[in-house]
Amino acid sequence: MLLFSRPFLFLCRTIILVGACLFTASATIAEEEKPTRFEESLDTSKPALALAGFLDSLPGLVDEGLPSFAPEGDFHLSLRPRFGDLLREDYFRLLIGARFKVRDQVQLRTELGTYFTHGMRDSVGNGLYQFRFGARYEFAYTLESGWSVGLEFITPLSRPPYEITDGVRHTIPSVTYTRTVSQKYGLVGFTTLEVDLIDHTALRVNLAENQLSANSVVLTLGVARQWRRMHLILRVFDGNTKMLSSKSENVFGVRPSIGIPFLRRTDGTPRATATFEGRAIWGPDGFETGIGTRLRLDLNYRRVKTE
């Protein structure tokens, strides 16, 4: 059985994706620039440490399922405020997240979504709207690459305003492969295959534009590149419901993003990062484009030293 219902279109999209990734990689490698502070800090005699250092400077990628290669006891606490709500909504959302490396190869992650009436519009109350919990196991990694498998659970909580959540639970098993493309230029490639199993709740369903409405399989390919004062992440994804449900829906999209750390620690890892992300998506509801911004604050950080 073919993984996707439209093999020819999927093949064409995959070719486009690989071409885009290779073009980005070759273009960045061809650049002539002085080594950044990040690049100078990498121990190139130990590529695994270089890959771990790169991923540590981009915590958003680790949250998406990439292996962190962090040692046992490594801990991150983060805040993700949604300041755009102050202009468009009656509430203000704040997501509080944590990652903890319980073993050298096992990482746990949790995130709690909260909302508050900000007082500039109507009152909608205060409360919790979403809970996320995930576990990830890293294995079979070489000096320059690594695999990880994970399981994530996302569910809406309580009775928040209708538009805050999609109203369904998600159980998401996944497998991810990560590889250093260029140590010198801080370039990393990654591939993720995930299954999104949805379950209805007592809340009314509120799917976003072009969100698949049934169980689906999603393939994501991407590259990430570090510069002196910013980083670039390019993701291309293709998802389909045909294999896991009676529905036949397909979504294909490109998500480029630029992250600008504006507060750093002495080791170069970010305390605060502003991200600007674009999207171009073809799906069940047609074609959509958009640009969004988000802010991430890493309030607490503990790196366990290894000998």
> What's residue 302's pLDDT?
59
Q: What are the DSSP E strand ranges found in the chain?
A: 75-82, 91-103, 106-117, 127-139, 145-156, 168-182, 187-200, 216-226, 231-240, 250-264, 270-283, 286-302
Give the C-alpha distances (Å, rounded to integers) separating 16 from 117, 253, 284.
44, 12, 21
Q: Is the pTM of this model over 0.75?
A: yes
Tens of pLDDT, residue by residue over 200-234, are: 999 999 999 999 999 999 999 999 988 878 889 99
Tens of pLDDT, residue by residue over 2-14, are: 444 444 455 455 5
> What's residue 126's pLDDT?
92
Tens of pLDDT, residue by residue over 35-81, are: 444 444 444 444 445 566 666 667 667 777 777 777 788 888 999 99
| 236-243: average pLDDT | 95
**CB-hemisphere CA count at 13 Å for 127?**
12
Tens of pLDDT, residue by residue over 88-144, are: 889 999 999 999 989 888 999 999 999 999 888 888 889 999 999 999 998 766 667
Q: Are strands 168-182 and 75-82 parallel, antiparallel or unpaired?
A: unpaired
* Distance of alpha carbon 249 from the chain centroid: 23
How far is Cα 97 from Cα 112, in angstroms, rounded to an integer? 6
> What's residue 188's pLDDT?
86
How far is Cα 170 from Cα 195, in angstroms, rounded to an integer? 10
How far is Cα 100 from Cα 109, in angstroms, rounded to an integer? 6
> What's residue 303's pLDDT?
56
Dig out the tokens for 128 from the structure: 């919790």
Q: Which helix (H) or strand (E) holds 57?
A: helix 47-57
Look up the CATH number of domain 7-300. Answer: 2.40.160.40
What rounded mean pLDDT belongs to the chain? 81
Dig out the tokens for 44 from the structure: 């190139």
End-to-end CA distance of the chain: 49
DSSP string computed for 138-199: EES--SSEEEEEEEEEEEE-SS--GGGS-SEEEEEEEEEEEEEEETTTTEEEEEEEEEEEEE
How far is Cα 118 from Cα 287, in angstroms, rounded to an integer? 33
Dig out the tokens for 60 from the structure: 């958003």
DSSP assignment, residue 247?
-
